[in-house]
A and B are shown apart, each in its own frame.
Chain A
C-alpha cells in the first residue's frame, strides 16, 4: 500500500445507525492515548461536510437509513466509507430483524469492512489505513 502522498490529514465522521455501542466505544478508544490515532492527523469532526472518511456502525435500522443516506450525500467527494463491526457488514446477530434496512451496503457503497463484534481498536486503525490507500486512488483518478 503506497500511502504518504495525500496532501492532507484524514478527517473522520462517525455515524451510529442503531449499533449496540460496542463498536462506538472502540472507535473512541482508538482516539485515546493508548492507540492515539490522532498522531497520524486523523480526528473525529463534527460535521460530515468536513469529513473524508465516514465510519459507520450498526445494522441500519429503518429509522436511520434515510439519515445515513443524507449524511453520505453531505460528505464531499472523494470519500471513503468504512463499515465497522459485524452487524454493519452483515446484520450480525440482528440479521433477521423486522426493522432493519441494512446492512450498510444496502444503503450506501462501502469501501472497507472491519470485522469483529466489536473489532479491536488496532483493527479499526488498520481499516482506516486501508481506506487511506483507497482514498488516494480515488483522488488520483479524479
Chain B
C-alpha cells in the first residue's frame, strides 16, 4: 500500500529512529491540517534472520535464540518452541514443570504490562506516573532474578520441562510480590483510570471496533479491549491453565461498557496484572511435586530428537497476544524449518483504523496502545531497490542483451 498525496495533504514520517519509538519502525501518515487521513508503515528494520539461523543449530541451541527474538516476552517464545518440538517427539512434560512454566509466563506478563503502562504514561507526558509504574515493576524483576538468576532473559524452559525449579523456599517471595501488586493496584487504578486528564486523552481515542478487530485479526489485549473474549489460556488451555480455569478479561468487567478505545486497552492490561497475581498465588498453593524435566542430559535428548520426523505447532498467550510457532524436524540435527508468528504481526493492521481521523498529537499514544514489539514481528525483509530484484530497466537490459546475443549467433 502506498500513500497518495494531493494538494491539501501533507506526508509526515515518524521513525525509524525517533524518541517516541523505542524500536525502529517507520510510520508514514498523510495529514490534512491536524487530522490523519491515511496511514502506512514500513517494517523490516529489526529483521535478524533468526528463523534461518535456526536451520543451522540444534534444538537446544535454538532455545537461546528463541529467547532473543524478543527480550520482553522471552519465555513465551521458548515455551512455544518447546511445545512444538515436544509434540513432534511425543515428549510428556512433568506436571511440576508445567507449573514452573506458567509461573514464569505470569511473572513476565506482570513485568510486560507494567512496562507498557509506564511507556503509555510517558507518551502522554505523565513522567511521574511512568516512574511510579517502573518502580513497581522492579519488584517482579527481583522475583524473576531470585528464581532464574537473571532479570530479563530467564533461560528457564527447555525441551521436555524446565532447567531450573522454582523451589519451595522461594515461594514466600512470590507471595510477597503478589501481595505487593494487590496493594499497589488501587493506586495504579487511580493513576490510570480515574485521572481526568488521562481519561480525556484516552477515552474515544484510537477506537477499534469489534468488527474491525475481527476482520483484521487482532489478538491479545488489543482484541479483548474491543470486546472479543479470546485468550489462548481460556480457549485452548495449556500448562497449568486447565487447573486454574481462566476467563478472558474484557473492559466491561470493570467499566460496564466496551468502546475499544485506548482507555479500554489500559483497563484490560491493568486487570490482567491482577489476574496474573491470582494465577501466581494459585500455582504456589497447588504446585505438584516430582520431576522438572523429561530428560536431564541434553546430549541424550538431542540424540533422541535427531531421530524424529514430523511437524507441529505450539501456541500460547504472550503478554501482547497469541504467539504461534511452527517447527518441522526431518531427522537431522537442525530443524528443517521454524516459523514464528508473534502477536504484534496481527496487531499492526488495526493501527490503520485506529489512527485514521485522529490528531497528529495522538499518534504516540495510539501507536503505543497495541504494545507493539518490532523485534518480534520483523520476520521478513522486503528487498526494495535491491539489485537482486529485477526492475523494469534491468529486465529491458537483459532482453536487449539476449537479442544482441542471438543476433551475434545468427550472423
Assuming A67-B16, A97-B52, is B44 touching A25 (CB within 8 A)? no
Assuming A25-B72, A97-B48, A97-B53, is B19 touching A47 (CB within 8 A)? yes
Chain B nearest CB, measured from A45 CB (Å): 8
Q: Does the CB pair A18–B56 fall under 8 Å?
A: no
- In the complex, residue of chain A having the shortest beta-carbon distance to the beta carbon of B373: A21
Give A106-131 interface residues, CB cut-off 8 Å to B. Answer: 117-118, 120
Residues of A within 8 A of B138 (CB): 29, 32, 34
Q: Does the CB pair B68–A22 fall under 8 Å?
A: yes
Q: Does A52 contact B (CB under 8 A)?
A: no
Mask for A1-33, Cβ within 8 A of B = 1, else 0? 000000000000001111111111110110011
Residues of A within 8 A of B64 (CB): 93
Q: Does the CB pair B151–A63 fall under 8 Å?
A: no
Q: Does the CB pair B68–A46 fall under 8 Å?
A: no
Interface centre among A22, A34, A71 (most CB of B within 10 A): A22
Q: Does the CB pair B45–A20 fall under 8 Å?
A: no
Give B362-411 interface residues, CB cut-off 8 Å to A. Answer: 373, 375, 378, 381
Q: Does B152 contact A (CB under 8 A)?
A: yes
Chain A nearest CB, measured from B381 CB (Å): 6
Residues of B within 8 A of A93 (CB): 53, 64-65, 68
In whole angstroms, what is the CA distance A139 to B214 when docked? Answer: 58
Residues of B within 8 A of A20 (CB): 68-71, 74, 375
In whole angstroms, what is the CA distance A117 to B71 when docked? Answer: 9
Q: Does the CB pair B153–A99 fall under 8 Å?
A: no
Q: Does A98 contact B (CB under 8 A)?
A: yes
Chain B interface secondary structure, helix, strand, loop or mixed? loop
Chain A nearest CB, measured from B387 CB (Å): 13
Q: Does B131 contact A (CB under 8 A)?
A: yes
Chain B nearest CB, measured from A97 CB (Å): 4
* Interface band, chain A: 35 or more
In whole angstroms, what is the CA distance A104 to B50 when docked? Answer: 18
Q: Does B49 contact A (CB under 8 A)?
A: yes
Q: Does the CB pair B68–A117 fall under 8 Å?
A: yes
In whole angstroms, what is the CA distance A19 to B17 when docked? Answer: 13
Q: Does the CB pair A118–B17 fall under 8 Å?
A: no
Residues of B within 8 A of A92 (CB): 68
Q: Does the CB pair B134–A18 fall under 8 Å?
A: no
- In the complex, residue of chain B having the shortest beta-carbon distance to the beta carbon of A74: B17
Residues of A within 8 A of B274 (CB): none
Q: Does the CB pair B131–A33 fall under 8 Å?
A: yes
Mask for B144-160, Cβ within 8 A of A = 1, else 0? 00000001110000000
Taking a contact as CB atoms closer than 8 A, the residue among A63, A100, A118, A120 that contacts B45 in the complex is A63
Residues of B within 8 A of A44 (CB): 19
Assuming A25-B115, A33-B134, A34-B135, is B47 touching A118 (CB within 8 A)? no
Q: Does the CB pair A99–B71 fall under 8 Å?
A: no
Mask for B60-87, Cβ within 8 A of A = 1, else 0? 0000110011111010000000000000
In whole angstroms, what is the CA distance A12 to B18 when docked? Answer: 14
Interface centre among B46, B48, B56 (most CB of A within 10 A): B48
Q: Does the CB pair B47–A26 fall under 8 Å?
A: no
Q: Does B23 contact A (CB under 8 A)?
A: yes
Q: Does the CB pair A94–B22 fall under 8 Å?
A: no
Chain B nearest CB, measured from A119 CB (Å): 10
Q: Does the CB pair B151–A120 fall under 8 Å?
A: yes
Taking a contact as CB atoms closer than 8 A, the residue among A18, A22, A100, A117 that contacts B24 in the complex is A18
Chain B nearest CB, measured from A16 CB (Å): 5
Q: Does the CB pair A94–B19 fall under 8 Å?
A: no
Q: Does the CB pair B375–A26 fall under 8 Å?
A: no
Give A17-73 interface residues, CB cut-off 8 Å to B. Answer: 17-26, 28-29, 32-34, 44-47, 58-59, 61-64, 67, 71
In whole angstroms, what is the CA distance A47 to B18 when docked? Answer: 8
Residues of A within 8 A of B152 (CB): 22, 25-26, 118
Chain B nearest CB, measured from A94 CB (Å): 5
B interface list, Cβ under 8 A from A: 16-17, 19, 22-24, 44-50, 52-53, 56, 64-65, 68-72, 74, 115, 118, 130-131, 134-135, 138, 141, 151-153, 373, 375, 378, 381
Q: Give 16 A-B contacts (CB < 8 Å), ordered by A residue.
A: A19-B46, A21-B70, A22-B71, A24-B23, A24-B71, A34-B135, A61-B47, A63-B44, A64-B45, A64-B46, A97-B52, A98-B49, A98-B52, A99-B47, A99-B381, A117-B153
- 10 more A-B residue pairs beyond the given contacts A87-B68, A93-B65, with a C-beta to C-beta distance below 8 A: A16-B23, A18-B378, A19-B375, A20-B70, A20-B375, A21-B373, A64-B16, A94-B68, A97-B53, A117-B68
